[in-house]
Amino acid sequence: MTPLDLWLTRSIPMCLLLQSLVLMALCFPSASMCPKGCNCQNLPHGLNVTCTQARLKEIPPDLPSDTILLQLDRNHISAVPDRVFQGLRHLRRLNLSHNAVETLGEGAFSGLESSLELLDLSHNRISSVHKDAFARLKARVVVDDNPWHCDCALQQALGGMAHNHEAAARVLCRSSELRDQEGRPFLAVDADLCNLAKRTTDYAMLVTMFGWFAMVISYVVYYVRQNQEDARRHLEYLKSLPSKPKKPDDPSEDISTVV
């Protein structure tokens, strides 16, 4: 056996082994790779993915499917696209606090209904949410420090939460459909914001109808008054007519009698 043969017989299996390792790494990237800027740590039941303060502008699209804890806090994330967490079937805790999220659509947390236990949305810019944004979530949702606009959709969204009273108690209305709710906690004013809109339209309708009614009545009154005036004047004229020839000092009468 020449040295070349010896080298070949030893290196070919090594090459094959290396090649298969590279192939394996390429074939299972989602299970083993950590998103850029994040730190992944193995826990007994899955991954602890920490992307705190990673200057993220959006939610990483390549989150490992075995993530159970996900920290996305202190970033610049401004949107939670529908179904973005769809693949994370085992996610238990999601921290999105200290970001720039403004609104939440219907499917923002879809896929997390059965697994999620805690959702932190505090310190964002959320003013409005879709009425079903939290529907079917069993998680405790933290919503403190957001510039909430309190309206019917928010009332419905809070109503659909498992821990709704706790969340509602921490919603401070930056603005509201209801004047006296502005700057106050959502629960401080016991009002049905969903029937409010209906009541307002009912009220507007009533006012309009009353306005029309008042206009018709005043026209009728005016018309009658005007007619009364005309009738009175006409009557006076009629009264004055036959009295004219009976005037005793009428020279024409004198002349006629003379004639």
Ligand X SMILES: *[C@@H]1O[C@H](CO)[C@@H](O)[C@H](O)[C@H]1NC(C)=O
Residues contributing to the site for ligand X (CB under 6 A): 39, 41, 43, 48, 50, 69, 73-74, 95, 97-98, 118, 120
Nearer to ligand X, 48 or 115 (CB): 48
CB of 110 to ligand X, least distance (A): 21
Nearer to ligand X, 106 or 145 (CB): 145
Nearer to ligand X, 118 or 220 (CB): 118
Q: What is the 3-state secondary structure (H, E, C) of the chain?
A: CCHHHHHHHHHHHHHHHHHHHHHHHHHCHHHHCCCCCCEEEEECCEEEEECCCCCCCCCCCCCCCCEEEEECCCCCCCCECCCCCCCCCCCCEEECCCCCCCEECCCCCCCCCCCCCEEECCCCCCCEECCCCCCCCCCEEECCCCCEEECHHHHHHHHCCCCHHHHHHCCEEEEECCHHHCCCEHHHCCCCHHHHHHHHHHHHHHHHHHHHHHHHHHHHHHHHHHHHHHHHHHHHHHHHHHHCCCCCCCHHHHHHHHC
CB of 71 to ligand X, least distance (A): 7
CB of 130 to ligand X, least distance (A): 23
Nearer to ligand X, 50 or 155 (CB): 50
Distance of CA 38 to the CA centre of its chain: 31
CB of 121 to ligand X, least distance (A): 10
**Cβ(144)–Cβ(174) below 8 Å:** no
**Cβ(227)–Cβ(189) below 8 Å:** no
Nearer to ligand X, 39 or 218 (CB): 39
CB of 186 to ligand X, least distance (A): 21
CB of 79 to ligand X, least distance (A): 19
CB of 101 to ligand X, least distance (A): 13
Q: How far is CA 241 from CA 165, 232, 236, in A?
A: 87, 14, 9
Nearer to ligand X, 120 or 177 (CB): 120
Nearer to ligand X, 40 or 196 (CB): 40
